[in-house]
Structure 1
Amino acid sequence: MEEIRRCTEELIEAIRKSDVYREYEEARLTLAAHPDLRNTINEFRKRSYEIQNSDSPEDVYEKMEQLERDFYMVRRNDIMNNYLQAELAICRTLQTINQELVGTVDLDILDFADAINW
Structure 2
Amino acid sequence: MKKFFMVVVILFILGAAGVFALTKIDFNRMNADNYYLQITEDGVQHETKLDDGTVMTSYSYELDAKNADGETIPIEFTAQKNLRKDAYLKMYVKNGDEVSSYDEVKFEDIPKKAQPK
TM-score range, shorter chain: under 0.3
Rg larger for:
2
The structure showing larger relative contact order (alpha-carbon pairs under 8 Å, at least 6 residues apart) is 1
